[in-house]
Amino acid sequence: MRVKTDDCDEDNNSKENCFTQKDKGDNSPIPFGGVNDENGEINQLESKANAIDCDHKSAVRMKMMKGVVIRENGGPGVMKLQQLERPQVKNNEVLIKVAATSINRFDLRQRRGWLPKLKKGESAYPGIECSGEIIAVGAGVTQWKVGDQVCALVNRGGYAEEVVVPSGQLLSVPRSVSLEDAASLPVVACSVWLALFQIGKLSAGQTLLVRDGCSDFGIFAIQIAKYKGAKVLVIGGEAI
């Protein structure tokens, strides 16, 4: 049933447009002529409604991203790509748009359920290193800016379109190095540098013995030690 609204002017030539479908609980005016009205007002209203709906969906999409999740332990098949809420950058953190990530032994152990419970600040999603471009910085970050290309050691969550990382866990990526190559650097580079130079105090002229020289850590250790002027001996293959 259609009823006339209180604010209609009966002397108005367009009074046929002042009706509502109150029996349906809708108080917004609609054209009396229905979908075939000559002015096409129904189509205009539908277009506006669709635009509002699209804006809402766009806003929702802006808050979401794609990322890999693990709902159960097992082989590679347990990893699923799903919609996740975009991370929010906090103080002393940066937000990275991920270009590439890598597979580490840590990730395999997480997938199989061989890791202890999450620590504070760790993500439940896999991926402990990645590379990409900084798209936001939190308060207190002075060393990095939006647009910097970096690789990062991540508190998990690197298998996603975006990830938040503490600003102290980033390495700058030179333009001569691809982001794909840089994604495999953080774990190996930080581990080798810590072991050889910060703990081992390796210096030019000293001799370094690298066990398992064909591994990722071994290959990086050989290169960085030689670059620093050390003499390098390597054990590999069946000799190990």
> Is there a domain that residue 68 lies in?
no
Asked if 155 and 115 count as a contact pair (C-beta separation under 8 A), the reply is no
User: What pLDDT shows up at residue 54?
Assistant: 52
Q: Which of the given ranges, 9-13, 58-62, 78-82, 95-99, has the highest pLDDT on average?
A: 95-99
Q: How confident is the model at residue 162 (pLDDT cuts 50, 70, 90)?
A: very high
> Is there a domain that residue 83 lies in?
no
Amino acid at 34: G
> Is there a domain that residue 80 lies in?
no
User: What pLDDT shows up at residue 117?
Assistant: 79
User: What pLDDT shows up at residue 24?
Assistant: 38
Q: How confident is the model at residue 43 (pLDDT cuts 50, 70, 90)?
A: very low
How many structural domains does the chain have?
3
Residue, of 121 and 169, whose pLDDT is higher? 169
Q: How confident is the model at residue 136 (pLDDT cuts 50, 70, 90)?
A: very high
Return the closest-CA partner of residue 223 out of 194, 192, 198: 192
User: What pLDDT shows up at residue 232?
Assistant: 97
Residue 157 pLDDT greater than 80, yes or no? yes
Return the closest-CA partner of residue 87 out of 120, 118, 124, 57: 124
Average pLDDT of every residue of the chain: 79
On whether both 195 and 178 belong to a single domain, the answer is no
On whether both 10 and 96 belong to a single domain, the answer is no
On whether both 175 and 202 belong to a single domain, the answer is no
User: What pLDDT shows up at residue 15?
Assistant: 38
Domain span holding position 44: 3-61
List of residues 6+ apart from 204 with CB closer than 8 A: 228, 229, 230
